[in-house]
Amino acid sequence: MARTATLPGAPTTKLGKAGYELDDRMLVSPWLRRTLNKVYPDHWSFLLGEIALYSFLILLLSGTYLTFFFDASMREVVYEGSYAPLRGVEMSAAYDSALTLSFDVRGGLFMRQLHHWAALLFVAAIVVHLLRVFFTGAFRRPRETNWLLGVVMMVLALLMGVTGYSLPDDLLSGTGLRIISAILLSVPVIGTWAHFAVFNGDFVGEEIIGRFYIVHVLLIPAILLALIGLHLLILVKQKHTQFPGAGRTEHNVVGNRLFPTFAAKATGLIFVVFGVCALLGGLVQINPIWLWGPYNPAQVSAASQPDWYIGFLDGSTRIFPAWDINLPGDYNVPALFWPTVVIAGAMFTVLALYPFIERKLTGDTASHHLLQRPRDVPVRTSLGAMGLTFYIWLMVAGGNDVIADKFDISLNAMTWVGRIGVVILPPLVYVLTYRICLGLQMHDREVLEHGIETGVIRRLPHGEFIEVHQPLGPVDAHGHGTLAYGGAPVPKRMNHVGGARRAIRGFFSPIEEPAQVELEQRAEGRGLAAGEERELTSSGRPIDTGRPSDGGRPQEPRD
C-alpha cells in the first residue's frame, strides 16, 4: 500500500524499505518479532539435543554425497581399483563401490569417515540428551508426547545405524547381516516368514543390500525429518523447561532472547559440531573396510563387534544362557530370541512408557516446567542409574572377548562375570544411588540450616573451639537458617557467595586494575570487603546471639 510508505518512522534505508515491502506482501513481521524475542534458558545441558540435531544435518549432507558414488547392488564384480591387495578379488558391487569411494574418489574416504563419525555422535548425543531429560524430570506433563517422539527417534537412529553399517558389504557388515538374519529367524511363529519377506528368501540372497539402502537413505531419514520437525514444533509451542532459581517460576522462562545471543551461540555450536566431526573424520580412522575384505559366509574375524550403540544387544546375546524352549509338536523358541528381540523390545517399551508409569506411581498429574535436581527425586534417579548400569554392563559384555584377550583373562570367566554382573550390579547401583541422593539432600539441608563452613576457627571464652559458619539468610533464635530449600543448587563454599573477590581478567598479564575490580565489587555489595563486613555483623554471632551455629549442636549453652 502506498499509504504505508509515507508514514512517519517508515524506513529510509534500502534494506529497511525492502523489509517493509516484504512485510507488505507476506505479513511476516509479527511472527518474526515473536521468534526473535523468544527466550531460551541458558544452561549447557540444553545444547545436547542441539548436538543431535546438528549431527543429523551433517549426516544428511555427507550421506547425500556418498550416494553419488555408492552402488547398492550385490552383483558379483572383480575389483580393479587402486587398492592393490584386493585387485582381482571377486566381490559385490556394493563393496567394490565402497572401495572405489575410499581410494579413487578425491576426498571420498574423508567423507565416508566423516559420515560414520557423525553417525556415532548422532546416537551418542540422542542418548545423552535423553538422560538429561530423564534425570531432570523434563518428560513430565505436558511433555510426554515429546518424550515418546524422542524414544521413537532414538530407535529409528539405531535402525539407521544398523542399515547403514550393513551397506558396504565387507566381512564385518556381512557378519552383522548374518546375525540380523538369525534374529529374524528366531521370532516364534512368524520368524521364517519375516526372514523371507526381508531377505526375499534364504540368507543371503540378492536383494538385501538394495533394500537396506533405500530404507537407510529414504524411508528412515524421511520419517526422522518429519519427527524432528514435530519434536521442535512442540518444543517451541510448549516453551523450554528451566532449572529452579531466582525469579524462575512455573509460568516464565528466564534466559536469552533468540536474537542475537542465542542464535549466535547456536550457530557457533553448529560449526563446533561440524568441526569436531571433520577432525575425527580425517584424523581418526574408522571402519577400514579394505582391511576386512569382501563378505564371505564361510569367513569371520575375531572381535567382530557392531557400532557402539548396538553393543548392548551383542552383549546380552553373549551372556544369555543356552535356553531353547521346546514346545510340543516339535516347535521351539530359540535362545537367541530373548536377548535380542525381547530385551530390546522390553527396554524401549519401558523407556517409552516411563512418564506414564511414573505418573501412575506418584499420582503427580500436574504440569511442570521447572526441572528437578536428580538428588531430589531419588527413586527416579536410582531407577535411571540402574537402567544405565544394565545397558552399560551389557555393552561391556559385548566386548568380553577383547577384554579377555587384552587382560589375559579366561573368556569363559568373562562370560560368567557378565552373567553374574547383569543380575547383581543394577540393584546394587540402585541402592548406592539412593544413598548418594539422600546424602546430597541432607548436606543441602545442613548448609541451609547451619550455614557454610568458613574455615575460620574461633576459641570461645571457656576454651571451646568452634568453626564459624556463614548463614545463607536470616536466622532464628538458635542461629538456624530459616531459608527453605527451593530445588536450586545451594552454595557450599564461601567463594560461591562472594567470599573472595572475582579473579582479575587476563591470561599472561592482567588487563584490569585490581583496585578497579575491588571498587566495582564493593559497589555491587558482594566483594571480599563487603563479605567481611557481613561476616562481622551476621556471622560473628558470638556477640549477638551467643554462638555461631555449628552443625548439630545448637543447644549448647550460650556465653
Range 294-313, binding another protein (CB under 8 A) = 296-304
CB of 326 to another protein, least distance (A): 8
State yes or no: residue 260 binds another protein (CB under 8 A).
Answer: yes
Q: To which H or E segment does residue 326 belong?
A: strand 325-327
Is there binding between residue 549 and another protein (CB under 8 A)? no
Q: Three-class SS string for 392-423?
A: HHHHHHCCHHHHHHHCCCCHHHHHHHHHHHHH
Does 368 interact with another protein (rule: CB under 8 A)?
Answer: no
d(CA 320, CA 64): 39
Closest listed residue to residue 488, CA positions, set 364, 370, 366, 367 = 370
- Binding characters for another protein, 2-31, by CB under 8 A (x = yes): -----xxxx----------------x-xx-
Q: Per CB under 8 A, which of residues 401..430 are in contact with another protein? A: 401, 411-412, 415
Q: Could you please report the per-residue DSSP string of 154-176? A: HHHHHHHHHHHHTTT-BHHHHHH
CA-CA distance, 77 to 58, in Å (whole number)? 32
Q: Is 272 in the site for another protein (CB under 8 A)?
A: yes
**Binding segment (CB under 8 A) for another protein, from list 13-21, 130-138, 155-163, 197-205:** 197-205
Is residue 271 part of the contact set for another protein (CB under 8 A)? Answer: yes
- Which residue lies nearer to another protein by CB, 191 or 527? 191
Give the number of other CB atoms < 10 A from CB of residue 349: 11
* CB of 235 vs another protein, minimal distance in Å: 13
317 belongs to the binding site for another protein (CB under 8 A): yes
Cell 572377548 sits on residue: 401
Distance in angstroms (rounded) separating the CA atoms of residues 374 and 433: 10
- Shortest approach of another protein to residue 178 CB, angstroms? 5
When binding is defined by CB under 8 A, the residue of 63, 164, 255, 355 that contacts another protein is 255
Site string for another protein, 124-163 (x = CB under 8 A): ----------------------------------------
- 499 closest CA partner among 541, 551, 453: 453
Q: According to CB under 8 A, which one of 20, 69, 110, 391 is a site residue for another protein?
A: 110
Distances (CA, A) of 462 to 10, 465, 557: 79, 9, 11
Cα(547)–Cα(559) distance, rounded to whole angstroms?
A: 7
511 binds another protein (CB under 8 A): yes
324 lines the binding site for another protein (CB under 8 A): yes
Determine the size of the site formed for another protein (CB under 8 A). Answer: 115
- Counting contacts by CB under 8 A, is residue 244 touching another protein? no
Among 59, 94, 114, 310, binds another protein (CB under 8 A): 114
As a whole number of angstroms, the distance between CA 458 and CA 547 comes to 10
Burial class (CB in 10 A: 0-12, 13-18, 19+), 268: exposed
For another protein, which is the closer residue by CB, 37 or 64? Answer: 37
Contacts with another protein in 205-234 (CB under 8 A)?
none
C-alpha angle with apex 467: 462 to 470, nearest 5 degrees?
125
